[in-house]
Amino acid sequence: MSEELCRKLKYRFNNPDLLKVALTHRSSMDQNNERLEFLGDSIVNCIIAEALFQQFPRSQEGELSRWRATLINRETLAKLAREFDLGRYLFLGPGELKSGGSQRLSILSCAMEAIIGAIYLDSSFEKVSECVLDWYAPLLQSLSNAASHKDPKTVLQEYLQSHHKPLPTYHVESIQGEAHNQVFIVSCEIEGVIEKAIGNGTSRRRAEQDAAEAMLGMIKHE
């Protein structure tokens, strides 16, 4: 069974006993995975923090922290564990076996962290980083996709906050055309920026997005 799990993890242990300990819940025996879980928790946080730091060079601490929290929590780690069908390989005490512990969120997430700690001890930080980044690749890619599809108003607000500047105000300058075919003209102003940006669109929201995009272009080229 350990060979099967190693294929799923894409890592073969030099010391199989480390894997066995990582899969052993405290309900099963004294030598359990709690210490490896402690180690793995710190390691995965470091790996994902660096990955986010490199992947999003313009993001500030607050946003990076939020993204890390979405990637490293019980739900995400348990989901990862289920992808490897980790519950099948766990060593649990009789009580946990009867109560369905092999699919419990807390047990799966802790075992996943313990495996990360075990791979680190069995190899190196470089190797465990390679494994973790491979497992997390789809999730990291989904963050990139989400970040690239942020609307201009959100991007402008985050840019201003990161540079400790006041937030923008939007004002409808005019509404042109017939009721069924209107065009909104909206201005975007920022205190301290002399020129205001103008945007237009078939709705107020679209016009504000257009104005925000124009303002971004202005202030980034000041």
Residues 6+ apart with CB under 8 A from 169: 188, 189, 190
| List of long-range contacts for 3-7, beta carbons under 8 Å, 24+ apart | 5/84, 5/86, 5/89
What span, in angstroms and rounded, lies between the C-alpha atoms of 17 and 15? 5
Catalytic residues: 41, 113
The separation between CA 111 and the C-alpha centre of its own chain, rounded to angstroms, equals 20
Joined together, the tokens standing for residue 147 give: 């970040």
| List of long-range contacts for 182-190, beta carbons under 8 Å, 24+ apart | 183/207, 186/210, 186/211, 187/211, 188/156, 188/212, 188/214, 188/215, 190/160, 190/165, 190/166, 190/215, 190/219
